[in-house]
Structure 1
């Protein structure tokens, strides 16, 4: 009987220990939070390819998260995030530069830098323009490529729509704020590239990430449109890629924005898709255009 009592007591102790280990296992598994939910990012078409690619990677690592990405232009992104219609507003320009946007209510998350360049149909016979020639073309003073050293061919301007961050950046830094002549307008960077490549004499402007061998990216004043020149501000037609939130981000939006500045995005996706890592910049520029070394 004594042995039976001792054995029963021992079994109770072992059971208690086992239950304790089991409870610890549940607690530790509960410590790792699984990211779930959805977030919608709307706005800049220049930034769209990067956010889409990063979103797919983020979803593959977090199967219960969903990242919805749409274009529409920077103005649309800033307006919708301010209204609370979406969680993230993608923009090529600072919120302070957009009329009707209360930048004080928005939080800026810079995720990349994008260089932009004038682009032309490959048959124009020009690969470099002076800044003044560029201004004269887009303001309608020069209407034939022969007047800037190219073929005897009419210049056809393809513009981005009002509200486009790419257009705002180009007009500010390439045209010194000059208003472009009334011309065909397109909402999408991809559509602009297609039209320029298929239209003899066409000229427009695109983010570096959209420039391929179907068109020619034009140098300005002998400076080539490349990442090295953007980093030092020798090429001045560039902007930060912003992802704005209405207040501090929470939940999936917070985690996704953190992911956008991670090494896997900044060191891999960003250069692969033709953008520039914010970590590679040697200068910093604010909304007023003031530049300082970093």
Structure 2
């Protein structure tokens, strides 16, 4: 006959196992999906990290597909919140999409640190990207053929850059890259290169030029004196309510609590 103590021990073990399984079944992780601009990666990553640390039951996902893809994902319900580094176009708004400006971001004009050029006008930048200026010596630099690097079609950074420099559908690019990080890496490795990228993502391995004599920084972006800048936008559907966790994350991103996080990530909060 089985020892009574042994029976009690087995029963207790079974009870503990049942409790563990029940606990696992009852614990759920809520997911909020974001999709879009690669330029917003640092800002969204910082907000995600802060929010998840205070809300252990929530996971924020970020899919860096580019602004156009993020807007399309929001329109087709493939994500909760789309991310765009440009304002919505009128035809996108007619699809039932709504935009909320999260922050302002400068588009930095980047060269290799070895390049002595420090300042270009918007007009000169436009002429470089349309192939009218092809050598750095024509703008005060070395005798090197300019390697113009840009982003792919659908990129919010490209859309903003071409709109400001009035070069839409005219750019002559030596390299067309699909992410902010790729542009920065390519410029850092080529003394003849010029590129553009979100100021929030710029690192010490490249040099950000002054434009029209104004350096890109938080002050000049906020007062609009730096001419090459755009909005970081949260995209949602007007007629569809967000899920409870998605709405709470959205509210957090536009709250006063998020201001220092956005600033630390290199962007300028709207508030």
Give the TM-score of the pair, scaled to structure 2.
0.84
Work out whether residues 139 and 180 of structure 1, in 8 Å CA contact, stay in contact via their aligned partners in 2: yes
Work out whether residues 131 and 220 of structure 1, in 8 Å CA contact, stay in contact via their aligned partners in 2: yes
Aligned-CA RMSD value: 1.9
Residue from 172, 175, 180 that aligns with 2:171: 180
Higher relative contact order (CA 8 A, sep 6+): 2
Give matches, 1:31-50, under 5 Å: 37-50=30-43
Give 3-state SS (helix, strand or coil) of 2:33's partner: strand
Alignment of 1:142 with 2:133, yes or no, is yes
Q: Deviations over 1:30-81 (max 9, x none)?
A: xxxx996111101001112111221121111111111001111100000111
**Distance across 1 between alignment mates of 2:121 and 2:159:** 20
The answer for the alignment partner of 1:12 in structure 2 is none
**Distance across 1 between alignment mates of 2:100 and 2:243:** 13
Work out whether residues 107 and 197 of structure 2, in 8 Å CA contact, stay in contact via their aligned partners in 1: yes
The answer for the alignment partner of 2:115 in structure 1 is 124
**Distance across 1 between alignment mates of 2:205 and 2:143:** 21
**Distance across 2 between alignment mates of 1:61 and 1:132:** 47
The answer for the alignment partner of 1:93 in structure 2 is 86
Alignment of 1:76 with 2:82, yes or no, is no
Structure 1: stretches of 5+ with no match in the other structure: 1-33, 280-294
The answer for the alignment partner of 2:267 in structure 1 is 275
Work out whether residues 129 and 167 of structure 2, in 8 Å CA contact, stay in contact via their aligned partners in 1: no
Larger Rg, first or second structure (1 or 2): 1
**Distance across 1 between alignment mates of 2:200 and 2:28:** 30
- Matched residues, number: 243
Give matches, 1:17-28, under 5 Å: none
Give 1:103 shift: 4.2
Give 1:263 shift: 2.5
**Distance across 1 between alignment mates of 2:168 and 2:179:** 22
Give matches, 1:105-124, under 5 Å: 105-124=96-115
Give 3-state SS (helix, strand or coil) of 1:212's partner: coil
Residue from 149, 162, 169 that aligns with 2:153: 162
Residue from 28, 34, 50 that aligns with 1:57: 50
Give 3-state SS (helix, strand or coil) of 2:230's partner: strand
Give 3-state SS (helix, strand or coil) of 1:122's partner: coil
**Distance across 2 between alignment mates of 1:35 and 1:113:** 36
Give 3-state SS (helix, strand or coil) of 1:45's partner: coil
Work out whether residues 109 and 257 of structure 1, in 8 Å CA contact, stay in contact via their aligned partners in 2: no
Work out whether residues 35 and 62 of structure 1, in 8 Å CA contact, stay in contact via their aligned partners in 2: no
Give 1:269 shift: 1.2
Residue from 195, 199, 205 that aligns with 1:204: 195
Which 10-residue stretch deviates more, 156-165 or 130-139? Answer: 130-139
Give 1:262 shift: 2.2
